[in-house]
Structure 1
Amino acid sequence: MPSLLFTPLRLRGVSFKNRIGVAPMCQYSCHDGLASNWHLVHLGSRAVGGAGMVMVEASAVSAAGRISPADLGIWSDAHAAALAPIAQFVAEQGAVPAIQLAHAGRKGSTQVPWQGRQAVPSEQGGWPVRAPSAVAFNDAYPLPGEMTESNITQVVDDFAAAAQRSRAIGMQVVELHMGHGYLMHQFLSPLSNQRTDAYGGSFDARVRAPLRVVAAVREAWPQELPLFVRLSATDWLEGGWDVAQSVELARRMKALGVDLVDCSSGSIVPGSQGQAEPGYQVPFADQIRREADIATAAVGLITRADQAEAILQRGQADMVLLARELLRDPYWPLRAAAQLDEEAGWPVQYLRAVSATAKS
């Protein structure tokens, strides 16, 4: 049986040469939000390594939407111009260039992970943060101001403008970050959204802002190009966001033009993570795919070629996105192809290295 992992996938007018995607992974390596040589080499090497899609890390749609002062951004034409060589190089390697658009909300103005994740004071480059409700993520994070309807409309506009800039530089996929405790997830989850107006309380109210973002981006993003959304499919906590709500949201997003749901989980409040083990989030991709009738991507501790292939063969997802495994081995797709007896598509510059040892 032919490998599904190396069978092309078509979404709208874009063809992915295989079903392996590089998940967006924050590098916390920017100055003023601008991409650098680090990003070109980091992302370019994964394209050379054979992935079908290479997704740029969470890119803030405004300066206030960053997680840390070292985050990547796409809130101006200058930021887009810094990303343009990356999109071009990724496409030249036969991979689909993609970008994740994001706003951190109450998780913004914090230190980079290796410094400890405390709030960054204004004198060190920090900024005021806003969220659906004036509730901090934890005692070490900034206390956010509650967003007004005008603030919400500005964020919607910022996402749409970021999508337009992404297209102008050659990105072929935009993903909206609605998981991991960032702003759109903060609206979705009852654990973070304590509003009593049109944007909080009922399910319909809590999904209002995220659906406004989807509609605005779909209008700004070319119809021939696919739109992805990353969801935290569950908060893992009673009274929080759950898979049933994710299924219903996915149905509504599909009606607005979303093509694929990237299924992660957790991180809305401290301790809201599941028990991490190989494939622990795959059932979310499976359920959303079946019940919402939408393409999905599976993520989370997918490390082996046979594991990724089995997910696709069982019909649990349409793509697999790898993160840490591709940090360990940028050439994982080439090795996986050899292990599954598929044509790897090695760069011609590397053909002298191709041998049976590629399977090891």
Structure 2
Amino acid sequence: MSQLFSHYAIGRLNLANRIVIAPMCQYSADEGKATSWHQIHLGHLALSGASLLIVEATAVAPEGRISPRDLGLWDDETGQALAEVVNNVRRHSSMALGIQLAHAGRKASTRVPWEGGDNISPDQGGWQTLAPSALPFAQTDHPPSAMTDADIEELKADFVAAALRAQRIGFNLIELHAAHGYLLHQFLSPLSNRRTDQYGGSLENRLRLTLEVFQAVRAAVASDIPVGVRISGSDWVEGGWDIRQSIALTKALQASGCDYIHVSSGGLSPRQTIPVGPGYQVPFARQIKEATGMNTIAVGLITEPEQAEAIVATGDADMIALARAVLYDPRWPWHAAAKLGAKVDGPKQYWRCEPHSVKDLFNKE
């Protein structure tokens, strides 16, 4: 039996297989509101046969957007627009839906990637960004403002308010974004956090904000909604965030009731040197799982069914996440099931598409 297509549970959420669709920014929102693009994008991914689809990084405040086109969940308008998309997707798919809540910090206020992705300063139509310390991501960026105690309290309240909106919309899972050089990651890494108060300096202090945000969200939402965290296992820069600190963070989150860790890497510094290759981030997930026993999701150039099967079967991670690979091939789970001799969920309207060489691919119960 394929381990990739075996059942798994994250907290009280039961999943049909170990395939997750990772959050992927679409830069297609209208003042934070989901649009018809999200309807199309999420709709076809929800027919893919994966067990869990996590919606892209969704800003908890307007100034937390990476770009002006980022999805948001900071008021009733943004909540209603996303609820309409989710409700339409659910009419045609039983796939579990999660959402990643985020704040970009000093990496906010940028142009969309296909327009270069450069920082937009306030005098060019952007906005003043926030960070743990007044250190820009790139030397040419407009410097962020170091967050005050009041800013930090407001941030925690914003995460809680967005999480409660996500719960009302009906999301099955909530993920907090503490990876890729965004705000929570900026507090974690000594490269971006030069504070001298309770949120900076020692590892214990640098973990504090991520833990406080997690604890506040966990306490606010229903116990049957799993809450996890996406982290970068390493900054890939000497003297930066690394796997040792990632394990310490995971243990602290675990003690606070965290349901899973989604392990990525990088994104904090332009000086990063990443040895990109097939499954290059999987060792981070393996080390975290071995050290903590936490439910882990591995991501990063996982492209082949046999590769994904091996990651789960050997215990390197409990689940695998697909990003670019599933954009390129939105039926990746179907094709993996066919290769591995497994069954997969698919809409009854498509059951007739089975190739002659593949029999009984779809669950038809």
- The TM-score bracket by the shorter chain reads over 0.9
Pairwise mapping of residues 1-360 of structure 1 onto structure 2 (< 5 A)?
Answer: 2-91=1-90, 92-122=92-122, 125-356=125-356
1:351 and 1:323 map into 2 onto residues whose CA distance is 25
Q: Please give the alpha-carbon distance, in whole angstroms, between the structure 2 residues aligned to 1:15 and 1:273.
A: 38
Single out whichever of 88-97 and 259-268 deviates more from structure 2. 88-97
Q: Distance in 1 between matches of 2:6 and 2:84?
A: 28
CA distance in 1 between partners of 2:285 and 2:176 (Å): 17
CA distance in 1, matches of 2:151, 2:7: 41
* Secondary structure at the counterpart of residue 297 of structure 2: strand
Please list the CA deviations of residues 40-64 of structure 1 after superposition, one character each: whole Å capped at 9, or x if unmatched: 1111111111111111100000000
CA displacement, residues 136-158 of structure 1 (integer Å, 9 cap, x when unaligned): 00023221010001101110110
Question: Quick check: 1:286–1:315 contact (8 Å CA) kept in 2?
Answer: yes
- The amino acid that maps onto 1:347 is P
> Letter of the aligned partner of 2:152 in structure 1?
I
- Measured in 2, the distance between the counterparts of 1:122 and 1:268 equals 22
TM-score normalised over the length of structure 1:
0.97
Q: TM-score, normalised by structure 2?
A: 0.95
Identity, in percent, stands at 48
Moved more, 56-65 or 216-225: 216-225
Name the aligned partner's letter for residue 301 of structure 1. L
Deviations 1:161-218 (A, max 9, x none): 1100000001011000000000000000000001111110000110111111010010
Task: Determine the structure 1 residue equivalent to 2:363.
Answer: none
Asked whether the 8 Å contact 1:110–1:141 carries over to 2, the reply is no
Tell me how far 1:221 sits from its aligned partner.
Answer: 1.6
User: Over aligned residues, Cα RMSD in angstroms?
Assistant: 1.3
| Conservation of the 8 A alpha-carbon contact between 1:109 and 1:142 | no
Partner-residue secondary structure (3-state), 2:175? strand
- 1:191 is paired with a residue whose SS is coil
Q: Provide the aligned length of Structure 1 versus Structure 2.
A: 358
Structure 1: distance between partners of 2:76 and 2:16: 30
Q: Secondary structure at the residue paired with 2:253?
A: helix
The one-letter code of the counterpart of 2:78 is H
Cα 1:345–1:231 change in 2 (3 A) is same
SS in 1 for 2:79: helix
- The alpha-carbon deviation at position 255 of structure 1 amounts to 1.1
Partner-residue secondary structure (3-state), 2:170: coil
* CA positional deviation for 1:273: 4.3
Deviation at 1:305, TM superposition (A): 0.7
Letter in 2 for 1:326: V
Which one is further off, 275-284 or 342-351? Answer: 342-351
1:32 aligned partner, one-letter code: E
The SS at the match of 1:197 is coil
Moved more, 171-180 or 11-20: 11-20
* Shift in alpha-carbon separation, 1:229–1:149, aligned structure 2, 3 A: same
Long gaps (5+) in structure 1? none
Residues 292-334 of structure 1, C-alpha deviation per residue, up to 9 Å, x if partnerless? 2200000000001111010000001111100000110111111
Change (3 A) 1:358 1:138: farther
Deviation at 1:346, TM superposition (A): 2.4
Say if 1:265 and 1:273, in contact at 8 Å, map to a contact too: no
Question: In the alignment, is the contact (CA less than 8 A) between 2:121 and 2:128 conserved in 1?
Answer: no
